A and B are shown apart, each in its own frame.
Chain A
Amino acid sequence: MNIDNPKYFFNREWSWLNFNKRVLFEASEEQNPLLERLKFLAIVSSNLEEFFMVRVAALKKQKAAGSKGSSIDKKTPEEQLAGIRIEVNKMLKEQYSLFYKTIVPKLKEHHVELLLDMKSLQSYKNTLSYFFDSNIQAVLTPISVGPTHPFPKLVSGQLYIAVELKPNKDSNDKIEKSRLSFIQVPINIHGRFIRLEEQETYIPIENIIKLFVDRLYNGYDIISASIIRITRDADFSINSDAASDLLTAIESNIKRLHQRSVVKLEMESDISPTVLKTLTAKMELNDDNIYPLKGILNLKDLFEIFGKVNKPDLKDAPIKHIYPYDFNGKDIFKLIRENDRILYHPYYSYDPIIELVKKAAEDERVLAIKVTLYRTSSNSAVIKALIKAAENGKYVTILDELKARFDEKRNIQSAKRLEDAGAHVIYGIAEMKTHCKALMIVRREKGGIRRYVHLATGNYNETTARLYTDLSFFTSDEYIGEDVSTLFNLLTGFSLPTKWNYLTAAPLDLRNKFMSLITRETENARNGCKARIVAKINSLLDKNLILALYEASNTGVKIDLIVRGICALRPGLKGVSENITVRSIIGKFLEHARIYYFYNSGNEEYYLSSADWMTRNLDKRVELLFPIRGKNEQTFIKKILDTQFEDNTNTWRLQSNGVYEMIEGKRKKNSFAIIEAYIKKLESSKKAADEKAGKVFKPVKSVDKK
């Protein structure tokens, strides 16, 4: 049987849309607190936006170029775009219906009111009028279209009011007449939603502007005013072979973003046909790119409501990030020297990592700190500590990946600040994204040079570390240290790789490593031995790896996968993948840790990685795979995996027909809660043991509270 057949693969875009549907499902889950459900609506929109900016944009370009595309299931770009349109429309319909018919009314029951239509504003007209005059009008700049005013370059993602005008009798004959004008909706000052004083009542700012739009156009009658929003292609690749030019290249790319082609136009469904005609003509759009919406645009901004509404009972209880007991009041270097450590965020606090960098910045024996930054948070404590270190005369080397999508601007700002402090900043490797997450501290100690290493599945970003599940691994192992040093020498261009001890790096040999790990299980199964593969990843898309997994399945290797997002592998097909199961966990936190497990004839191997099983991770990015060899650490990871496989609250199981079915059980098992409780217990038992042994107990401290 030939397993290399398009029908044995799921389409990438289709699979992604399916993932977003599962996110949307969370918004419909009644057991989720109401504001959390609202947040899931926002996530759905945010995800969709990125999807259009990158995936749809790329498909459109393929289509325009007449390419057949490279889809794993051999679908043409046309077919895929048509499919996407159908699915997206369905999804939007469901999202809006959920929002308007369920969430908004339920919020009202809890005295949180969203006034979303124009009619509902009438009773507040006086208040709003005052607010408009005193707070909004001054920042509005209508951009009119006329013979000497060309059609403006609208900014991607921004809300605009398209105003259809007709000069009236007051109009001044001497000035140029416009028929169409745009007002960019200002959301930077007051936010998207204006809260009425003393109440939990919110009004979208664009509706307030619409209400008084006539005040902006003297001499004109307003024929219509509709909200529109465009999304532009953001799928740019940097063509530069000298890394030093990257900064400039990316900066100019950001500057040119507003000139890129439009991939989507959203507007209120009651938009005037004249205006729509002008818009589609000017932006070279056809019906496929147009999404009329019955309701307010850009539900992504609902994040703001989530943040502004002060009703803790409508939100998940905030997680108490546990500070690992061992780290309390101990010299962190000594701690890592004694034992490797592993932390699972966000259950565990991210503070130890920040403390490590802070400590290194001040420690006089520390010679150098090296770190890869991919997406850092805007006011990053890690960057602050790195700046401090550079000022203290440490050699600070930062590999700042400017090409991290949608974060380019922020990346450049932080890079410049670091450079000013005297750090050695490298802007990535040309043609390649540096996606691995590694931190190395070089310290001169009595016995010589010792390297303290932190390797992770998540970025050095305190904000996402509160929301994403990621694993952090601390070690002072000499050989891993050597490998990480090799990695940095490679990234800085100081050296070509020599020999790796334990780490495997993409794009060098990570693909081969995964292949050989899978093949080893296949061989074992073929020889009649027990064989098993477990992987917990974000996406599974690489065809060669999928084929290797199919082959493994066919020889009897038991393969259990937890793939949060895109999965092109079709599980449970007889003769292809009957020994493979695929689950997806969507819930309270974004599942982000990548864990790989291989039975290896009983000599079990656990790996963590920054890489998914996607072609781009293996061939186009710098990624790391590192083994976890300590028994305690392995047990910890095993516990996480076991708990997730038992989950029947947040888990979907992918069927061979492509349908994701919710796993249900009589006794509810929520892996998020179980892991949280497990870690809590683990830490308190450590504390109890110490107390019993009469050791001094020091109060828990955290970076934030200091």
Chain B
Amino acid sequence: MKAKKSNLIAVIDIGAHSIRLYIGHILRKGIFKQVENLWVPIPIGLDTFNTGNVSNHTIRDLIKIIKNFKQTIDEYQINTVKAIATSSIREAGNSDVLIERIANTTGIQVEIIEPITEIEVLYNNIKKVMKDRYGFLKDSVLIFSLGGGGTQIVLQDMGEVVFTETYNQGTLRLLKSFDLPAKLFEYILKPLAASFTETVSHFSDITEIIRFVVVNDDVLNLIKITHREKDVQGIYRLTTKKFRAMYDEVIKMGPEKMTAKFGLNENVSGTTWVAFLMIGLFFNLTGAKEVLFPDLSMSSALLNQLSFGDEQIIRSKKSMRENIISAAIHLGKKYCFDRQHAELVAQLSASIFDQIQEIYGFGNQEKLYLEIAALLHDIGAYIAAGSHHKHSYLLISSCEIMGLSKREIKIIALIARYHRKAIPKPSHPEYMSLKQADRITVARLSAILRIADGIDASHLQLVKNVKIELDAEICHITVTMTKGKHEYFDVVKYTVAKKSDLFENFFGLKVEMEIMI
């Protein structure tokens, strides 16, 4: 039969203890109907977290399951297939071999995704499901995504992302990596809780978290099969009382009895049990009156994103950009940045960028890198004023911002690093470890940042606008000073001249500056 154009999309999600096939029929962008939702438990994470590799036996099982899934995919004549894997395969020493074997035997190419991408995809969908219900857009909300191998949290306030954090601790990892009696788990989890509380304490605007949103396949499944609660437009809402009752029942029962009572798969009862412990623990850290479980999984969330037509894991750009910027500002606050300076430098950088974008063929994403680097370029001063550009590099490269990959964070960190002192050189290993294209990005964006920073070197916000005019040999910069004494003219001119080195070097244009009042 001739294959017709299909509006069906299949997503395969290889998780830590199970693998799922989700097939959706796309009605229109962002709206789809579930056609199939298959899952098979397979403890891949058990291998990875215990031995560092996925065993041959597990790989064979995995391939068998994916073959079955492939058959179902073919049955529906689906062309758009996305297969992703998370921590259990990301951390496996033999992940390349494994992916190659799956591709060879089933024709399915598995893509490994980073934790930050995971939470990004989930977060976008949570927002979509939550809309403005349950104070989601006005209160401080803790979003807790609990997986088998890792946990991601997003703290949101007034609808803006405050910070995201990934803990290398998940239900399966916890269940298997400790050879201790179950009753001690609560204590094992304490450091995790402490680390969270510590992080939150850095954000002085967050006084109390009053909403708690949880994403966890196991608990969601248990709520569904026990019919404990009906969903209201895609959200299962458990009041403190109901959650406590379920929590007590599950914790008391233990995994073995859960297997019998709820007819769960053995592995699943274990992780469900740990999930309750962890959710209970974080719930206690909040002042929330209910636990909200959006009815979504990684696979349905990904499918939703794919319904926008791009096979890459794309971002809903506009809102993601806002999230990234808000997360950057919160990060800046954490390190007590000079917000007014940072924001002005970001604004000036963006303005310069906009004016030369077309000529030099910059991409949109680059503008975002520049703005974030500008916002955070001075945070290293939190550690020490001397060599603060290097400290900024360290702080930025060790943080995570939802919506940005590890590679992107590194680019941003380097742009910030080159905002003063030495310009990029072959003797800088961090810089040289980038691909050439990324090195060019770093170089030309830090060239712009240096000028913008030079304009507000006084940290007094004396300048408002910047105008760029390019001719064959000269870059004319015109700035308008809105306040301050005349004496600052020379200071600004001097610092800009000093910091134009990279720009001149890179773009081959001499920078000349004029100041207007």
Interface, chain A (partner B; CB < 8 A): 364, 367-368, 393, 395, 424, 442, 444, 448-449, 482, 485, 489, 492-496, 498-499, 508-509
* CB atoms of B40 and A494 under 8 A apart: yes
B1: A residues at CB distance < 8 A: 364, 393
- Residue of chain B at shortest CB distance from A368: B75
**Most-contacted residue by chain B among A393, A442, A494, A499 (CB, 10 A):** A494
A367-B76, A499-B225 known; A449 vs B8 contact (CB < 8 Å) = yes
Q: Which one of B36, B74, B265 contacts A485 once the chains associate, using CB atoms below 8 Å? A: B36
B39: A residues at CB distance < 8 A: 495-496, 498
Within 8 A of A (CB), among B47-100: 68-69, 71-72, 74-77
Whether B363 sits at the interface, judged by CB under 8 Å, is no
* CB atoms of B37 and A498 under 8 A apart: yes
**Most-contacted residue by chain A among B8, B69, B72, B77 (CB, 10 A):** B72
**Other than the known A444-B77, A448-B35, what 14 A-B pairs have Cβ atoms closer than 8 Å?**
A367-B75, A368-B75, A368-B76, A449-B76, A482-B34, A489-B36, A494-B38, A494-B40, A494-B71, A495-B39, A496-B41, A499-B224, A508-B263, A509-B263
Whether B27 sits at the interface, judged by CB under 8 Å, is yes
Whether B33 sits at the interface, judged by CB under 8 Å, is yes
How far is the CB of B234 from the nearest CB of chain A, in Å?
14
B76: A residues at CB distance < 8 A: 367-368, 442, 444, 449
A498: B residues at CB distance < 8 A: 37, 39, 221, 224
B74: A residues at CB distance < 8 A: 395
* CB atoms of A449 and B35 under 8 A apart: yes
How far is the CB of B291 from the nearest CB of chain A, in Å?
20
Q: Which one of B8, B34, B40 contacts A495 once the chains associate, using CB atoms below 8 Å? A: B40
Provide 15 A-B residue pairs closer than 8 Å at the C-beta atoms, listed in order of the A residue. Answer: A367-B75, A395-B74, A424-B71, A442-B75, A442-B76, A448-B25, A448-B27, A449-B35, A485-B36, A494-B38, A494-B71, A495-B38, A495-B40, A496-B40, A508-B263
A395-B74, A448-B25 known; A494 vs B69 contact (CB < 8 Å) = yes
How far is the CB of B319 from the nearest CB of chain A, in Å?
28
What is the interface of chain B mostly: helix, strand, loop, or mixed?
mixed
- Residue of chain A at shortest CB distance from B264: A496
CA separation between A482 and B37, bound complex, in Å?
A: 9
A368-B75, A393-B1, A442-B75 known; A496 vs B265 contact (CB < 8 Å) = yes
- Residue of chain B at shortest CB distance from A395: B75
B37: A residues at CB distance < 8 A: 495, 498
CA separation between A508 and B261, bound complex, in Å?
A: 11
CA separation between A395 and B34, bound complex, in Å?
A: 20
A489-B38, A499-B225 known; A448 vs B33 contact (CB < 8 Å) = yes
How far is the CB of A495 from the nearest CB of chain B, in Å?
3
B221: A residues at CB distance < 8 A: 498
B25: A residues at CB distance < 8 A: 448-449
How far is the CB of B223 from the nearest CB of chain A, in Å?
10
* CB atoms of B68 and A494 under 8 A apart: yes
CA separation between A509 and B262, bound complex, in Å?
A: 10
How far is the CB of B159 from the nearest CB of chain A, in Å?
32
* CB atoms of B72 and A494 under 8 A apart: yes
CA separation between A368 and B265, bound complex, in Å?
A: 29
CA separation between A442 and B75, bound complex, in Å?
A: 9
- Residue of chain B at shortest CB distance from A490: B38
B225: A residues at CB distance < 8 A: 499
CA separation between A442 and B72, bound complex, in Å?
A: 12
A496: B residues at CB distance < 8 A: 39-41, 265
CA separation between A368 and B263, bound complex, in Å?
A: 30
CA separation between A482 and B76, bound complex, in Å?
A: 15
- Residue of chain A at shortest CB distance from B69: A494
- Residue of chain B at shortest CB distance from A495: B38
Ordered nearest first, which 5 A-B pairs have the shortest CB separation?
A: A495-B38, A448-B25, A395-B75, A494-B68, A499-B224
CA separation between A368 and B73, bound complex, in Å?
A: 11
How far is the CB of B271 from the nearest CB of chain A, in Å?
14
CA separation between A361 and B211, bound complex, in Å?
A: 54
B41: A residues at CB distance < 8 A: 496
B263: A residues at CB distance < 8 A: 508-509
A368: B residues at CB distance < 8 A: 75-76
* CB atoms of A492 and B77 under 8 A apart: no
A442: B residues at CB distance < 8 A: 75-76
A509: B residues at CB distance < 8 A: 263
B1-41 CB mask vs A (1 if < 8 Å, else 0) is 10010011000000000000100010100000111111111
CA separation between A396 and B35, bound complex, in Å?
A: 18
**Most-contacted residue by chain B among A442, A444, A495, A499 (CB, 10 A):** A495
A424: B residues at CB distance < 8 A: 71
